[in-house]
């Protein structure tokens, strides 16, 4: 079973030293700009995988 990371952990991991302070600042900045970090729904994730490779629609998954 894979480990689930929080949004804070994922952002911190993008910095070489796992910078949690920078992750907190980035999340606060996004919140201030009106963005919200939400968990991906499993039904949506399964729908993205189930799409045919030759379909005409472009998925953002």
Residue 11 lies in a domain: yes
Residue 32 lies in a domain: yes
Domain count, the chain: 1
Residue 40 lies in a domain: yes
Structural domain that includes position 40: 7-50
Spans in the chain with pLDDT lower than 70: 1, 42-61
pTM, rounded to two decimals: 0.59
Angstrom distance (rounded) from CA 34 to CA 10: 20
Residue 59 lies in a domain: no
pLDDT at 5: 87
pLDDT at 60: 59
Closest CA to 39 of 2, 11, 4: 4
């Amino acid at each position: 079973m894979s480990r689930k990371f929080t949004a804070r952990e994922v952002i911190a991991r993008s910095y070489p030293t796992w910078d949690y302070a920078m992750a907190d600042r980035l999340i606060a900045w996004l919140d201030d700009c009106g963005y919200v970090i939400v968990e991906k729904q499993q039904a949506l994730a399964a729908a993205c995988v189930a799409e045919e490779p030759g379909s005409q629609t472009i998925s953002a998954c």
